[in-house]
Amino acid sequence: MAQRVRKAVLPVAGLGTRFLPATKAMPKEMLTVVDRPLIQYAVEECLAAGIEEFVFVTGRNKGALEDHFDHAYELEMTLANRGNKQAELKQTEQATIRPGNAIFTRQQKPLGLGHAVWCARHWIGREPFAVLLPDELMVSTPSCTAQLVAAHEKTGGNVVAVIDVPRAQTGSYGIVAVKAEKAGLAEMTGIVEKPRPEEAPSTLAWIGRSIVMPEVFDHLDKHEKGAGGEIQLTDAMAKLIGHQPFHALRYTGGRYDCGNRLGFLEANIAVALGRADSAAETRALLGRLLKG
């Protein structure tokens, strides 16, 4: 039986240069979609998958992330003392992580995603873990990570979430090679980091959600550089293929690439349209703006 997935690694060291000046003094993971920061969506996605322990791999100027998941006593007291702010108080208190369940460790040099995940190795130990890139916002029930956990419980081993992308975009993703697909799940035969369209083994792109086996650290330990001169997680994952189960799961659900401005704008509109408390107003607002 597959070992239960209890822990998640959230690499959050990136500078967010595409969002300057917004990210000059604020981590990009604190950018807000409707009413909560991107990082909170990633944490909630994990909680919805039964994952309650978090390793945040941070960098300089990322302190706001740690504060976000702590109690904010003055604020909570103020809200509690105002009779009509109970809903806001609940929202604020919900944005915490249970005591002792979060670790913040720094990736001291930007050596690549594989290196960022490697920085979490001591806190993960020898058990399967989830990796989530919080720039990618996933909206679905069950959550994207819950879909991966369910697949992992069936197949054991590594599972990555993929979607089909236009061939012209393969250079932006880790692209997988698979055997025949059954009910959205396919055994993987390879994964290549950012191949040129003519060299890509398929158009199935890894979208920053995975369940990874701890043996990946044996490869990351070597600090081998790959595409772009960086230590790539996909290269270390590729080395596990053929040695342990490795599957790609076709993700079904909303996905918004909040690493770029248009994707971020789309996320805000889509999430607002998807929520009962804002759908009608947002629809009316968009109608007015489009007419104008």
Residues found near ligand G1P in the complex (CB under 6 A): 113, 133, 136, 173-174, 193, 205-208, 232, 234
Nearer to ligand G1P, 79 or 138 (CB): 138
Question: Least distance from C-beta 232 to ligand G1P, angstroms?
Answer: 6
Closer residue to ligand G1P in complex, CB, 43/137: 137
- β-pairing, 204-212 vs 136-139, is unpaired
Nearest distance in Å: CB 12, ligand G1P: 12
List Cα–Cα distances, 201 to 55, 192, 198, 205, in angstroms.
32, 8, 9, 10
Nearer to ligand G1P, 149 or 248 (CB): 248
Residue 201's φ and ψ, nearest 5 degrees, are -70, -15
Min separation Cβ 14 and ligand G1P, Å: 7
Q: Is 156 left (phi over 0), alpha (psi -120 to 50) or beta?
A: left
Name the minimum Å distance from CB 233 to ligand G1P. 6
Compute the distance between CA of residue 259 and CA of residue 207 in angstroms, rounded to an integer: 12
Sequence-separated (6 or more) residues with CB below 8 Å from residue 170: 194, 195, 196, 197, 200, 203, 205
Which amino acid is residue 8, in one-letter code? A
Of the pair 16, 97, the CB lying nearest ligand G1P is at 16
Q: How far is the CB of 235 from ligand G1P (least distance, A)?
A: 10
What are the structure tokens assigned to 283, written together? Answer: 């629809």
Q: DSSP class of residue 2? A: P
**In terms of CB distance, is 205 or 272 closer to ligand G1P?**
205
Provide the strand spans (E) within 36-79: 36-37, 53-58
| Closest separation in Å from C-beta 193 to ligand G1P | 5
- If you count them, how many residues does the chain have? 292
22 versus 165: smaller Cβ distance to ligand G1P: 165
CA distance readout (Å), 178 to 136, 145, 232, 237: 23, 20, 20, 14
Of 213 and 248, which has the nearer Cβ to ligand G1P?
248
Least distance to ligand G1P from the beta carbon of 157, Å? 19
